[in-house]
Amino acid sequence: MFKTRSGPQRYFDGWANAYDRDLARYDYAVPEVVYDALAPRLSGRQQQRLLDIGIGTGLSSTMFRLGFPDMHITGVDASQNMLDACRIKGVADRLFRCDVRHDLMPPGPYEAIIAAGVMEFVEHPEDVLDHIIRHLKTGGYAALAFETPATSHLYGKRWFGGIVGQSPRSVTVRRVHSRLPVPHVYCKYLHATAYVVQLCKSAGLEIVDTTRFEAYRRGNGDVVTHDLLIIRK
């Protein structure tokens, strides 16, 4: 499907084997926060179908598999190595290698869609929201957990990385990744929550809740916050 790997793909391909171990060390709270926000809204529904966009190694989907044993879970990710790690766990019923920016998603409709830690690697939030609009069942819920400009102070200049673009809508951060033998460059996009909310409302989606929370702590102790949007179609 892919002729060449993007920067984020290479980043997560190289991180897949150590991903769970590293995030446990960072007190990564996103899966629990997403689950706690969605589970009460999904409880009691006869049919349970979940699409996990950017499923990674399945940390968020594992929460739903434990809480809803009969739920049908579909996961997509751009990193094949992350999908391989997820497949070993057996938390998803279907896994597909898809790039949210230009690939079609497995068709729904889904009662729930989650995208945790995905928006930061997508320049245009519409690329994620379009999939929600197309595949979320009417009355269904979506959860977006993403880093925002509130964390931009954590990205100081290093080599030729750091903040390279700013607007009221987002902050663009260029990062140099040296985990692999050959360093490579990728960008993160810290989208303003108000802008994402505006896009949702323009598309006819209802914002049910907005929450800022501590997503994880870096090795140096820096706290990285995320914003959580709960959306209803």
Q: Mean pLDDT in the chain?
A: 92
Domain ranges of the chain: 7-149+192-232
pTM: 0.94
Predicted local confidence at residue 225, as pLDDT:
98
Strand partners, 142: 113, 231
184 vs 57, higher pLDDT = 57
pLDDT digits (tens, 9 = 90+) for 197-226: 999 999 999 999 999 999 999 988 899 999
CB 127 within 8 A of CB 100: yes
Predicted local confidence at residue 132, as pLDDT:
97
pLDDT digits (tens, 9 = 90+) for 35-80: 999 999 999 887 899 999 999 999 999 999 999 999 999 999 999 9
Side chain identity at residue 178, one-letter code: S
Angle at 48 between CA 43 and CA 54, to 5 degrees: 105
- DSSP state letter for 164: E
pLDDT digits (tens, 9 = 90+) for 133-157: 999 999 999 999 999 999 999 987 6
Give me the helix-helix angle, 126-135 and 193-202, nearest 10°. 40
Strand partners, 116: 145
Predicted local confidence at residue 2, as pLDDT:
38
- For the ranges 32-36, 120-124, 175-179, 193-197, which has the lowest average pLDDT? 175-179
Residue 62's nearest CA partner among 83, 35, 29 is 35
Q: Which CATH architecture has domain 7-149+192-232?
A: 3-Layer(aba) Sandwich (3.40)
- The stretch 187-203 carries a mean pLDDT of 97
pLDDT over threshold 90, residue 177: no
221 vs 184, higher pLDDT = 221
Where residue 8 falls among pLDDT bands split at 50, 70, 90? confident
* Phi–psi pair at 85, nearest 5 degrees: -65, -35
Element (H, E) at 114: strand 110-116
pLDDT digits (tens, 9 = 90+) for 97-123: 999 999 999 998 999 999 999 999 999
